Amino acid sequence: MKSTKSNKLFLKAKKFIPGGVNSPVRAFKSVGTTPRFIEHAKGAYLWDVDGNKYIDYIGSWGPMILGHSHPSILKAINKKAKHGTSFGAPTELEVKIAELITKMVPSIEMLRMVNSGTEATMSAIRLARAYTGKDKIIKFDGCYHGHADSFLIKAGSGAATFGTPDSPGVTKSTAADTLNATFNNIDSVNKIINDHKFEIAAIIVEPVVGNMGCIPPKPGFLEALRAICTKQKIILIFDEVMTGFRVSAEGAQELYGIKPDLTTLGKIIGGGLPVGAYGGRREIMKLVAPNGPMYQAGTLSGNPLAMAAGFEMLSILNKNKSIYKHLEQSSKQIEEGFKDNFKKLNLNFVINRVGSMFTLFFTNNEVTDADSARMSDTNLFGIYFRAMLENGIYLPPSQYEAAFVSTEHTEILIDKTIRANFKSLKAVLHATK
């Protein structure tokens, strides 16, 4: 496929935008090619500026669960835009979407709208510290909760240790308050808590990891986290920015039957527009200003266009919960098709899937945490990604990101995807000979 215009735009962009992109993974650097600049999207398809057409499995990194340019969502945005795009004042829609979210997710009794997932997680951590009076948090190696300083912390040589900054600009004092545990390893959590008695304000976790590829929780892991947090008076935060309303109508907490103290949301609740939210138990949320002393604000929070898109999206999902059964069937078809291709080609690669999220890992080992994910062959993934792109399939340009299925991925498109997967795996085999 030609990429002449995209290449020219990328060269120009690099003069004015760091790396030529406004989010690092978009640069396609880790997959050995250059980004395709997108012109428009509809349903399950993307078209780039060179006229190439792709079946899209990014879906704007998750929110396009109903496909691109859904007519009723576009109608809601256009209708609202005619009355103004931003007021810096409350609107009725903010109340309606907050009420709808609390009905759909029982653990959320009150919530605050923000502008991004990063804002949501950052605010939830601050709130947990304010509520508990404690400073330290536990996160899991490989889980991504946005780019706030507290989250850009990597683990040291041990499985559970004091963090060190993972990015210049993050201070050592900030890093010292973030402790890293191993996902799916409850012993690593217990060790941290025993080493830092009465110091832990919160444990934050992606209940289904999407940011080191799709990694589900082992049976009993989330239940154990809930029990520990209850016993130790630690706030349990589910980062459902990605999984919220994606893996089920109530998110991962419904899927696994766990009730967190706080939940962070994003992606789907904006219907494709920038938005985030954090919410949970009323007694905790009452600490947020102007009700309480924990300060958090945002000029564009509750933006009317985002609220219109999000309310329409959530209303559709709430009224048509059979959507999730359809998504499960479609996603299972992809998983089984890929596994059949592995068998035909005598390959031992791994595919992880939860609902309409999935990742193909180029490793022979089970992928359950960050260390096992890092054993994947990223060079092979790069070859595979480029081959899939040539075959008209647009995947996340990183081994460590989840792909997403929408309601617009029909059986015909899924069959095309499975055939493209077979061709691309053959290209991987050829390149390794």
Catalytic residue positions, numbered: 144, 239, 267
Distances (CA, A) of 26 to 29, 174, 357, 401: 8, 28, 19, 12
User: On the CB side of 393, how many CA atoms lie within 13 Å of its CA?
Assistant: 26
Cα dihedral 305, 309, 310, 313 in deg (nearest 10): 170
Closest CA to 267 of 241, 248, 246: 241
Distance, in Å, from the CA atom of 291 to the CA atom of 294, rounded to the nearest integer, reads: 9
Distance, in Å, from the CA atom of 146 to the CA atom of 152, rounded to the nearest integer, reads: 8
The token pair at 374 is 């890092």
Distance, in Å, from the CA atom of 247 to the CA atom of 314, rounded to the nearest integer, reads: 14
Query: Phi/psi of residue 61, each to 5°?
Result: 65, 35
